[in-house]
Amino acid sequence: MADRGPTPLFDRTALRRHRDRTAVDFRRHAFLLREVGHRLLERLIETRRDFPLALDLGCHDGLLAAQLTGPKRPDEGRIGRLLQCDLSAGMISRASRQPAPSFVADEEWLPCGAASLDLVISLFALHWVNDLPGTLTQIRYALKPGGLFIAAFPGGVSLAQLRQVLLMAENETVGGVSARVSPFVEVRDAGMLLLRAGFQLPMADADIIPIDYPDPLTLLHDLRGMGESNALAGRSRRFLRRDTLGSVLARYPRRADGRIEAEVEILYLTGWAPEV
């Protein structure tokens, strides 16, 4: 029998459905992406370079394009022409309202020729690719000599409390656990991935962003609204049981005022295509 290769970690078809479903109301839940987008663009400004042609890889509904052209736009960004692509046709239908050409494309199969782009920027997309080293290699291939890649996505210890209480609650109520929260890249590994893909001056660092919620149910609702629902290939196809959800609500640590906190670790990756 022919070798079919390793089983994918993520179900990209499910991810596309999640993004399609949430596209219309995405902005209502995207406060975290807006904040991370501002931080990502600040890092871009610090490069003090011009980028005649840029690609927003995994653009969602055009959030970064809106930040680049809005009233608080980072004028020092110096992006000439911005292209947008996303896995989801639903997201692209929203992104096309921005003044930037938009098209559907899978982040795992970058539809760009060699040395065609000056900049690739990506916000909250690369944590869902099955072959991150391969995707990074494609990005480096698409960049012109001296081109820049810069990205931000969740990593490491993100949602550690939620992951813990989900495991405990499901073990308590079902007698076993299933994969419900995807694994994240560790910051200590991210720089090596850039080197492996052929980038020069690789840099990987992280921020921890605490988010305040009234209860765990609101947190789960926001994750769904951002299109960040479980897309693991090995996930359980059954909905979270009512008693399991009740256990999650009871177990999640609360502050003295009754509210909860969730911490998201954001990894920032920066690398330059080698000069000729």
Write the single-letter amino acid at 214: P
Judged by DSSP in three states, 85 sits in: strand
Taken in order of first residue, the domains within the chain and their CATH numbers are: 12-156+183-208+263-272 (3.40.50.150)
Shortest CA distance to 261 belongs to which of 250, 272, 249, 253? 253
Sign of the alpha-carbon dihedral angle for 199, 265, 8, 86: negative
pTM: 0.91
In angstroms, rounded to a whole number, what is the distance separating the alpha carbons of residues 101 and 208? 33
Per DSSP, the chain holds a count of helices (H) and strands (E) of 10, 7
Per the structure block, which two tokens stand in for 197?
């893909």
Q: What pLDDT digit, counting tens, does each position of 182-227 carry? A: 678 888 899 899 999 999 999 999 999 999 999 999 999 999 999 9
Q: What pLDDT digit, counting tens, does each position of 120-164 carry? A: 999 999 999 999 999 999 999 999 999 999 999 999 888 888 888
